[in-house]
Every structure is written in C-alpha cells, then in structure tokens.
Chain A
C-alpha cells in the first residue's frame, strides 16, 4: 500500500494515437503502476496523466468511468469473471452499459469472439480455458465496446510460443483494423519488437530509452543493451548488494 517509496521520478511518455506503443523494463519498475495511473485507478502525488486532453487526476468519479468506457484493458491473467461463461463475459460490458436488444448483443459478441477465433468456445466457463484462450476471450471482452485505447498488461506472460504468436498477431490486426491506440506493457523484448511502432524502456522510475525497435537495438546506453539482449549482468547487477565475497567467507563473522 503506502510504502513511501517513489516509483516514478522523472517519467515523460507521449503515446501516439493509433500506434502500438511498447513500454518495457525490468520487473519491478512499476509498469503496472503506470497502467493504473493511465486508467485512473490510482493517482500520482505529483505530475500529470493526460488522456485525450483530460487530466485524469482532476476528473470526478463519473468522468473517470466515462473515460474508462473508451478504454479496454487486457489483464495479465485475463481476469475473466469466473461465475459467467465465455459468452456472458464478453457480453458483460454491453449488458452493463447499453440497453441493446438481445439479438444485437448476440451478434456483437459472436463477431468479437470470431475475431479472436473462439466463437466455438462461447459456452465454456473460464476454468475450462487454457491460459492463451482465456487471454483471447479477455481480448474479445476488451474490444466489445469498440474502445479507442487498448491497454495490454503483460499479454505474453506464461504463454506457449503458439499462443504467443496468436496474441501477437491479434494485437497487430486489431490495432490496424479498428484504428485503436495500443499500449503494451511487457518485458518480452523480442516478441513486442516485431509489432511495436514505438518503444519506451523504463528503469528506476525514469525513461532510459525511447524510439523505434531499430533505434533501441543500436542504443548506446549499457542498460538498454543489457535489457534488449537479455544479459545477466550489467548496470542491473546480477548480485544483490552484499559485502565483498572473500571478506565475508574468510572473515569469521557470517554477517557483517
């Protein structure tokens, strides 16, 4: 909760409309926190988050909800509602926010399920789905209200290579077909660099590098180099801070 730790100190990110923006960084750099800031789940102590000209922190509860209706979000593990089946999960935002007739809801839901290739799984429950399928259903749910912004929180975590490829393709095709602004938070550099239009690498609360995939690959900064190439040691050290190895082994006391 309130640990008093500063997560971001000098973070300046501009996300282009209609593009796929990747936000990368080592684990624990506050990528999920950034998403919560964008969606108005938490507010920054200082600084601003501006979405389509609106300062999120200054919005009232109702306005935030209105803003969120224009967003879709894919959670790390799908976050499907476990007491509803796949069809009802995708229909959920429609039923909550619209008064569409049942036939129209059915058509919309089946279209979206078809888009993620799971029209046949409409009657299954979330417990019966594999990780990749669950994430695709969640994606269908995220786009059912035709959002302008689509946010992906670690969309590739824990997926097998095939599912990963499927999700990758879906992100790209949804972005192109619907003209959605996509924000992908991930640490899977290789995967996301296939589709991202622009990328930011954040570390220790700061943007350490930004640009296209190619620009990042040739970036001079050692931390970017370490991150992109997946090196074990570098500016982010392999060893947790400790006293000198030989001193601790040889010098009688176990803990200095």
Chain B
C-alpha cells in the first residue's frame, strides 16, 4: 500500500502528461496553432498558378530544405497567388535575382518550391519579392496540351482552342 501522497503526485503527473499530450496534438500536429520559430526571414513570390501547393510545403535550394511555405493568398489586383515563404536564418545570403519554381516531388508527391540561385552579389532582404516565379506544372494542362498538339490540331494552327476532348 502506498501513501496517499505518492498516489496523488503520480495521478497528478499522469493527468498532466495526458493533457500535455492533448495540447501537443492540438497545437503541434494541426495547422491551428502552427507557428515557425522567429530566427527566420520572409520571402514572397507571385505565381499565376500554384497547382497543389499548400502552406507548410518545403522550400528548397538545390534539393536542401531551407524553409517552409508560410502563407498563400490570392491578390485580386494582380490575379495572382502570393506565396509567403519562411527561410531559415542560416540561409541569409540568397542572391536577389534568384528565381522560384513550383515542382512536384515524385510522380504523385507533394509540391514544393525550388529556388535557383542567380548571380547577384546582393542577397534578398526580409520580406522582399522574388522577381522570377515559374508556375506549377499542372499535369492536366500538360496532358491536354500534348493530346491537342499531337492529335487534334491540324498543322499550322498554333493557338490552342479549348479542347473538347479534355472537357469530357
């Protein structure tokens, strides 16, 4: 038989641990309480089409993950998607003419942003906009373009009309 004190303490510990676990689940593995650490800086890029990019997706430089997509907004003035990235402070010196592209990891994998370094000596500053942004390659567009070009288009016609085959 243990003393009541031991029981109370270990019960308290157990309940605390349980609630800590619930708190961890609610804040750390869903987006609701998500926040990045502060030792990072922001970059922005605007895309015509971001495909299936989601916030939280990695940002990589030569395949090395250097940050995350923090936020995705749609700009009604530009008709473009504004993607805010959080880059780790370790990677401060990214040339300010580097461009950003949206790639797909593997055939069916998630999408991420890949930065390609430019040649400028001046690095990007916090909150700066990336000059060159290449859109996501949308598989359906590729397919319809391919079908259209190879089968449906008569030679000579260059502007693709809405393909009826693709809509069905």
Contacts and interface: CB of A to CB of B under 8 A. Distances in A.
Asked whether any CB of A lies within 8 Å of a CB of B in the complex, the reply is yes
Interface of A: 83, 85, 125
Nearest to B1: A125
Contacts of B1: 83, 85, 125
Contacts, number: 3
Interface string B1-29: 10000000000000000000000000000
Interface of B: 1
3 contacts: A83-B1, A85-B1, A125-B1
The majority secondary structure among interface residues of chain B is loop
A125 B1 CA distance: 9
A86 to B, nearest CB: 12
Contacts of A83: 1
Nearest to A83: B1
Contacts of A125: 1
B146 to A, nearest CB: 77
A81 to B, nearest CB: 12
Nearest to A125: B1
Nearest first, the 3 closest Cβ-Cβ pairs linking A and B are A125-B1, A83-B1, A85-B1
A29 B124 CA distance: 98
A85 B2 CA distance: 12
A198 B1 CA distance: 44
A85 B1 CA distance: 9
A215 to B, nearest CB: 50
A82 to B, nearest CB: 9
Nearest to A84: B1
A105 B1 CA distance: 22
B6 to A, nearest CB: 14
Nearest to A85: B1
A6 to B, nearest CB: 45
A186 to B, nearest CB: 33
